[in-house]
Structure 1
Amino acid sequence: MAIRSLHWVFKIGNRKDSINFYKNILGMTVLRHEEFEKGCEAACNGPYDGKWSKTMIGYGPEDNHFVLELTYNYNISSYKLGNDFQGITIQSSEALARAKEASLPIQDIGNSRYSLCSPSGYKFILVDQPQPKDRDPVMSVGISVSDMDRSVKYWNGLLGMNIVKADDREQILEFGSNQAQLFLHKIDGSVDHATAAGRIAFAIPGGELKGVESKVKEAGHTILTPYITLDTPGKAQVQVVILADPDGQEICFVGDEGFRDLSQVDPAADQLLEEAMDKDKSDEWFKKKGRSKVTA
């Protein structure tokens, strides 16, 4: 069963500030952009029914890079952060230099690693080494777990991720040696996803999706969205199954064949995003109505 890591989903409140951070500080490229009039059937944009957008951004094509999915709900200005997300690690002295030049708050966490936060408060860890050109600069994504043994049984024993490093407080897992790794960080107490809860996505051969769903169901674990086909107007259909790990971390398994077709880089993506941001008058509309956007 060939599985590859795809992306992490962030909810963002201020699209312009966020895009500036990902493009001009981290140095990522807009790969795709889509606008939707109603909420996603698989809750890609969270539990919201209104107009929203999805922007895929990263260091290269989704076929061989771990990228970010930025979801923006037009009527929501910000989201409450929990303790569930531990950060995305990127190797890039160049991004670190841009962050310093922009006078962003940066913390030296040792071993040539520095942490900073996006405008929405999401943590990034920059490794102070030249950004690689022969592989994806994104090295890992970290999440919190409350019971390490239970989580390892789920991610390794049930889903089949390989253990790269193991100790009581941290486990590193991966589906392939050339992919972004998953860091499990043991925290004290329970995992709180709040409203900013993210989602990690993996691609799997489409014919094996229902098998994963059945396996997880038989093991007594949570299935958030049973096998479903999602439509993107004018693009390929994709089949997905959405799961949740023992701490409630959302996991999307998507059919690889349809997703490879859907996820082709769109040369017009940056322009489409800029046009959407220029047309976005939601702040003005709420102000005229004597209201403000919701803090979710």
Structure 2
Amino acid sequence: MSGRRTLHYVFKVGNRTDTLKFYREILGMKVLRHEEFEEGCKATCNGPYDGKWSKTMIGYGPEDNHFVCELTYNYGIGDYALGNDFQGITIKSKQAIQNCKSKDWPISKISENKYEACAPGGYKYILLDEDQPSTDPVQTVSVASSDLAKSMEYWTNIAGMKVFKQGCKSATLGYCEKQASLTLLGIDGEVEHKKAFGRVAISCPREQLQGIQDAAKAINGKILTELVSLDTPGKATVEVVILADPDGHEICFVGDEAFKELSQVDPKGEELINEAIAADKSSEWYAKRNRSKPAA
């Protein structure tokens, strides 16, 4: 679909220190921007929580031309149960494999040139033993599908993706083969979204947002958040529509024009997340009382 591109996947994290260590020291990503919020997001970007939270965008390069990760942190929550909905992100990076081995990060070999490592929280990464490309090392984000034909119909007709490759148990789709793609992996049984459920973000020209919403309504598709404006303090206001596919995978469509302004790399991003972690005493508060931080 003209003008659309995959942007990022949203993860809920309970420990920013350990999580940032994995993304920085193992995957070799860099913090692109960091934002703190006093109240929950009205589009539930941080999940169904109303309290203080933060958002950290991290990746291999600018959000304009790289698929990145959005790490959302709710100050009062230390752990999230993981379902079978998220199946992994595949990255070309021989260096990440070497980092796992040299830093004693758990890693397992899947095949001749394919390894698996997990971020804190259990989020799976498939690492390909290949040189890291100068463009975007992130190849695809994989999610589970209980009915591959039904999922493909939704992602092509509503999300506007093209099918790049299809097999008996999987399909790879996207907007452009130079961007990170979406892989649907067929599973037996239902797709479970537990407390750690995430969401895929896709940008499109602002003028397409209403049409996307209308198309979902026309098939009685699930609309989680109707067209709404979201404010980020001191930055651009973006408009989004949030849908759910037949298996409940959340998809956030965001107006590209404002998002490009919002998503500029912040040179102070690393400094801001480091300061936020240093100032966060929530874990210490629970430790002094011999209690664990609550799970979601």
State TM-score, norm by structure 1: 0.98
Q: Which ranges of structure 2 fall in alignment gaps of 5 or more residues? A: none
* CA distance in structure 1 between the partners assigned to 2:105 and 2:123 by the alignment: 14
* CA distance in structure 2 between the partners assigned to 1:61 and 1:92 by the alignment: 18
Q: 2:190 — aligned with what? A: 190
Q: 2:262 — aligned with what? A: 262
Name the amino acid aligned to 1:269. G
Q: 2:103 — aligned with what? A: 102
* CA distance in structure 2 between the partners assigned to 1:132 and 1:181 by the alignment: 16
Q: Which ranges of structure 1 fall in alignment gaps of 5 or more residues? A: none
Q: 2:279 — aligned with what? A: 279
- Say how many residue pairs are matched: 295
Name the amino acid aligned to 1:202. I
Would you say the 8 A contact 2:36–2:53 is kept in 1? yes
Per-residue deviation at 1:286?
Answer: 2.8
The 4+ residue runs of structure 1 with deviation greater than 4 A are: 288-291
* CA distance in structure 2 between the partners assigned to 1:288 and 1:98 by the alignment: 34
Name the amino acid aligned to 1:73. N
Question: Mean Cα displacement is larger for which, 150-159 or 65-74?
Answer: 150-159
* CA distance in structure 1 between the partners assigned to 2:39 and 2:192 by the alignment: 27
Would you say the 8 A contact 2:114–2:127 is kept in 1? yes
Q: How does 1:1-296 map to 2 (within 5 A)?
A: 1-133=2-134, 135-288=135-288, 291-296=291-296
* CA distance in structure 1 between the partners assigned to 2:252 and 2:69 by the alignment: 14
Identical aligned residues as a percent: 56
Residue 129 of structure 1: SS of its match in structure 2? coil
Residue 278 of structure 1: SS of its match in structure 2? helix
Residue 76 of structure 1: SS of its match in structure 2? coil
Would you say the 8 A contact 2:236–2:261 is kept in 1? yes
Q: Say what the alpha-carbon RMSD is for the aligned residues.
A: 1.0
* CA distance in structure 2 between the partners assigned to 1:111 and 1:225 by the alignment: 43
* 1:79-111, Cα deviation, whole Å (9 max, x unpaired): 000001110000000111001111222111114
Per-residue deviation at 1:294?
Answer: 1.1
Would you say the 8 A contact 2:158–2:212 is kept in 1? no
- Residues 3/111 of structure 1: CA separation in 2 closer, same or farther (3 Å cut): farther
Name the amino acid aligned to 2:269. A
* 1:184-209, Cα deviation, whole Å (9 max, x unpaired): 00000000010000100000000110
* CA distance in structure 1 between the partners assigned to 2:72 and 2:212 by the alignment: 26
Residue 176 of structure 1: SS of its match in structure 2? coil
